Amino acid sequence: MKFSIIFLLSILIICCEKQHEKFPDCQKSYKIAKEDFQKNKFIYYEYQYLTQDTTYNKSFEKLLKENDIAVQFETKYPVGCVVIKDAEEESKKCYQVMMNNQLEAKFGSKFFDSIRLKSKNN
């Protein structure tokens, strides 16, 4: 009985370690984002709270698409919420931050604000 429990726990630990290895660390995620940017694979990550008005998301997405920029809407959690971070989430976050920084450097810091305003006026 003890042997089977120890055996199952060791398999579980090995599987978890292999799962963790699948996702690149932050430095690799930054590099991947830079490479995608150089290939003109532009993805802007828009962060929104759960209670935020999403009425203009389609219009915002359409206006960005005219500039060959895809948009992905991400949920922004309030400070009090407990969000479990794992390797996959950390890797995604690093990629998203680098991609948004690259886009803002290319198009200007006010570009996305002006697109947001346009989407509300359409």
* 31 falls within a domain: yes
- Domain with 59, as residue range(s), is 24-121
Specify the pLDDT at position 13: 61
Number of domains in the chain: 1
On whether the CB atoms of residues 112 and 104 are closer than 8 A, the answer is: yes
What pLDDT is recorded for position 37? Answer: 95
Determine the pLDDT at residue 73.
87
pLDDT of res. 11: 60
37 found inside a domain = yes
> Is position 8 within any domain?
no
Q: How many residues appear in the chain?
A: 122
In a domain, 93, yes or no: yes
Q: How confident is the model at residue 47, as a pLDDT?
A: 82
pLDDT of residue 120: 86
Within a domain: 74? yes
Question: Is residue 58 a part of any domain in this protein?
Answer: yes
**Residue 9 confidence (pLDDT):** 53
Distance of CA 92 to the CA centre of its chain: 5
Q: Which residue has the tokens 């120890």?
A: 6
Averaged over successive runs of 10 residues, the pLDDT of the chain (122 residues) comes to 58 54 85 95 86 84 94 72 69 91 94 91 80
Q: What is the pTM of this model?
A: 0.70
Task: Decide if 73 is inside a domain.
Answer: yes
Q: Is residue 84 part of a domain?
A: yes
